[in-house]
Amino acid sequence: MTHPVESARLAEMMIDARRRSLALIDGLTPEQLIGPKLPTLNPLIWEIGHVGWFHESFILRRIYGATPLLANGDDLYDSIAIAHEVRWDLPVMPLPEMLDYLDRVLNALVERLEDGEANEVDSFLYQFTTFHEDMHGEAFTWGRQTLAYPTPDYGKRSLPRLAGGLAGDADIAGGTFLLGSPKEAPFLFDNEKWAHPVPVAPFRMARAPVTNREFAGFVEDGGYARRDLWAAEGWAWREEVRADHPIYWSPDGPGRWSVRRFDQTEPLAPDAPVIHVCWHEAEAYCRWAGRRLPTEAEWELAATTIPDTADGLLIKRRYPWGDEAPDARHANLDGYALGCADVAAHPDGDSAYGCRQMIGNVWEWTADTFGPFEGFAPDDYKEYSQPLFGSTKVLRGGAWPTRSRMISPTYRNYFGADRRDVFAGFRTCALD
């Protein structure tokens, strides 16, 4: 069961998530809040309503039997029941009414919390719904990037760190460790259930994610045009979208590239990790470089264990650097940098093997298709993981807009192999 959390902390997290959501739609015109109909996005005016509806439906109504605050909320904002392509055509509330509804839901949730430590049920529900809003906050962010909307304003900003590159591999001896989360974890998502022993052979993993400079070498060597570097599905994707470089790059003279970040174009930062590349692009790069993607077991072992054992299992830590919660020393998280740091930044976040930035900066594609661990059973929100088993690829580690309160090295993200709008990059492993 989820560890009990102080009610004040639950309210603080929920209020902060709402503040971020509102910042991500602030300043947009009514037309921008609707936006074009795209298969990878939702209309922002619909999505912000869905976030409020989810809080109300999942806690106030489903668990505590409250009367609906919207008579037709289920018909407008239920993401499971409402087909994606019709969300642009629904009679959703105008923004002022939407903001009033969001306030009423949030106030009801905060007011029902009692002083002191919340019970286990509320501790799980309030965290889960807050993290659900955090996930949509990341989706709002990549939506603004996709649509070239202005850079969001969170009220404060920390500049991405210019620290250069970080070459070389970490030698990881391997061993048997517990993949996934144990029942005593402070919080976990259903697809992390349950921790189970997995043997991993010795391997060598890059200390840092692939950089823009390194990926540019693949592009400039004709990597997108070389059929031998692409699996059949990847080549079909490349032909369909006519890709010849990462989606937001543009040539800026011989050997030079620019990149669009929100509504601004700027020179490509050579030592920042490549971002907004899909799994197919990552796999093709690996073939070109004579490397491979890590399995998710290799990734988690490198991010969580130390080279020591107890009872025949590698000892596992909560984060790559230890058990201390992440902050700006360890990782680029929480969105305030509004972009990626160089791959050598945040040395305090190194894993026991010397791998850097396994938390934050960019999500990292792994080799594996998303699927259940043995003994999986869905939690209350049954549609969270199960519908995507077998059809998506696993990513690990979080990215620069991911909230530090929800990310851990056991968190399993998942997207289709063709998705390059999300904040994804990758690191590689040696073939031997």
Ordered structural domains, the chain, with CATH: 7-146 (1.20.120), 161-432 (3.90.1580.10)
**What DSSP string describes 319-365?**
BTTBSSPP-TTT---TTTTSSPPPTT--GGG--TTS---SSSSSEEE
Q: Which tokens go with 303?
A: 């991010």
Is residue 140 within 8 A of residue 25, CB to CB? The reply is: yes
- Dihedral pair phi/psi, residue 419, rounded to 5°: -80, 120
Model confidence, pTM: 0.97
**Cis upstream peptide for 194 (omega within 30°):** yes
Sequence letter at residue 343: V
- CA dist 95 and 201 (Å) reads 54
How many other C-beta atoms lie within 10 A of the C-beta of residue 334? 23
Q: Report the candidate in 360, 357, 367, 424 with the shortest Cα–Cα distance to residue 398.
A: 360
Instruction: Write the DSSP symbol of residue 382.
Output: T
Q: How buried is residue 14: exposed, middle or buried, by Cβ count under 10 Å (0-12/13-18/19+)?
A: buried
User: Which residue is it, tokens 């590239």?
Assistant: 257
Along the 432 residues of the chain, how does pLDDT read in single tens digits?
A: 578 999 999 999 999 999 999 999 999 999 999 999 999 999 999 999 999 999 999 999 988 889 999 989 999 999 999 999 999 999 999 999 999 999 999 999 999 999 999 999 999 999 999 999 999 999 999 999 999 999 999 988 887 778 999 999 999 999 999 999 999 999 999 999 999 999 999 999 999 999 999 999 999 999 999 999 999 999 999 999 999 999 999 999 888 999 999 999 999 999 999 999 999 999 999 999 999 999 999 999 999 999 999 999 999 999 999 999 999 999 999 999 999 999 999 999 999 999 999 999 999 999 999 999 988 999 988 899 999 999 999 999 999 999 999 999 999 999 999 999 999 999 999 998
Q: Which tokens go with 260?
A: 């669009």
